[in-house]
Amino acid sequence: MRKITIIVLAFFCISICTSQENYKQSLDGVKRVKIYTQTNVKITVGSSNDIIIGDYKDCKDCRKNDRIINDKNKSKKLRPIYANGNDNTGYGLQVKREGDLLEILDLKSAYQRNPGLRIILPQGISISLNCGQLDGHAVIEGFSSEIDVETHVGRIDLIDVSGPITANSLAGEVNIIFNAVNQKGPTTIRTSGSNIDVTLPKNTNANIELRSDQGAVFTDFNFKPIKKDGLRAIGANRRIKSSINKGGVSIKISSHLGNIYLRKKE
């Protein structure tokens, strides 16, 4: 009887693990979370000291995947295996802890993970997010810690952040709204083929460098007085350096093909 109970419990655990909809882990002693995936990701602030990873069900602009049909009956009594690592979470993730760094590698493809990952992290934790080599976009909201984020074609939206920010997209738009600018380290925002739109509090102290090789640069900060559409066109095809207010931390913004918009937050 005892053996039967253990077997039943084991099957129950396996079924829970293989079909779980969330992954949760305590972040005690962790200062930085590094996530590598191929899909869309949205990260917001949670109230606990845990990382919670689930499906990005509320994504309004994620591309729908209708090519792959996961027939759960067919995979019954089987477990998924992956080419690029071992799933030690039951959620298609390989999680590795090294000192105060937690590394998460998403083992599922963009199609399998579609529409994406919805992640909740505690305030104050540093975030490294790489959305891979496809069209995964990144949305990160409400963090006052360091954020570094890379996408290939997908856009980057950082909302109510204070940095330092290191953002790079090959061809996606980058939109960042700062609620304050951390003076601890430099911020660099780059894209090769799209526009960058950055909003800073009007009293920000910073040394700014703006560069668009083929696009134009617009701002309502006090750079150069050439008016165009309410914002000032302050240059094209060149590097523009200026301090704003009292000067301070370095903020470098550059796009090869796109325009740069640097706005004051009212």
Partner 1 sequence: MKCIHIEDKIVDYIEVNLSEQEIELITNHIRTCESCKNTLEQTKEMLNKFNLIPDFELSEDLNKNLDEMLESEEKLALRNGIVSLGNNKVWGNVFKIAASIFFLMFGYVARGYIERDAQQNIAVNENQQRNKKLMLGMMENNSPSERIKGVGYFEDFRNPDIKIIEALVDRMKNDSNSNVRFAAVEALSTFSESELIKSSLIDVLNLEPNPSIQIEIIKILVSSKDKRALAPMKILLGKANTTKYVKDRINIAVSALL
Shortest spacing between CB 230 and partner 1, in angstroms? 29
Judged by CB under 8 A, which of 50, 94, 233, 256 binds partner 1?
Answer: 256
Judged by CB under 8 A, which of 88, 123, 214, 222 binds partner 1?
Answer: 214
Q: What is the DSSP string of 120-164?
A: EEETT-EEEEE-TTSS--EEEES--S-EEEEESSS-EEEEEE-S-
Instruction: Confirm or reject binding of residue 186 to partner 1 (CB under 8 A).
Output: yes
The three-state secondary structure class of 4 is helix
Q: What number of chain residues touch partner 1 (CB under 8 A)?
A: 29
Residues within window 116-145 making contact with partner 1, judged by CB under 8 A: 126, 128
| CB-nearer residue toward partner 1: 115 or 173 | 173
The three-state secondary structure class of 194 is coil
- Type and span of the H or E element at 112: helix 110-113
Instruction: Confirm or reject binding of residue 166 to partner 1 (CB under 8 A).
Output: yes
Distance of CA 145 to CAs 24, 74, 128, 163, Å?
Answer: 21, 44, 11, 6
Residues within window 65-94 making contact with partner 1, judged by CB under 8 A: none
Q: Give the strand pairing for 231-236 and 216-219.
A: antiparallel
| CB-nearer residue toward partner 1: 50 or 148 | 148
Instruction: Confirm or reject binding of residue 185 to partner 1 (CB under 8 A).
Output: yes
Shortest spacing between CB 219 and partner 1, in angstroms? 21
Judged by CB under 8 A, which of 141, 257, 263, 264 binds partner 1?
Answer: 257
Q: What distance in Å separates the CA atoms of residue 208 and residue 211, rounded to the nearest whole number?
A: 10
The three-state secondary structure class of 30 is coil
Judged by CB under 8 A, which of 50, 55, 141, 148 binds partner 1?
Answer: 148
Instruction: Confirm or reject binding of residue 213 to partner 1 (CB under 8 A).
Output: yes
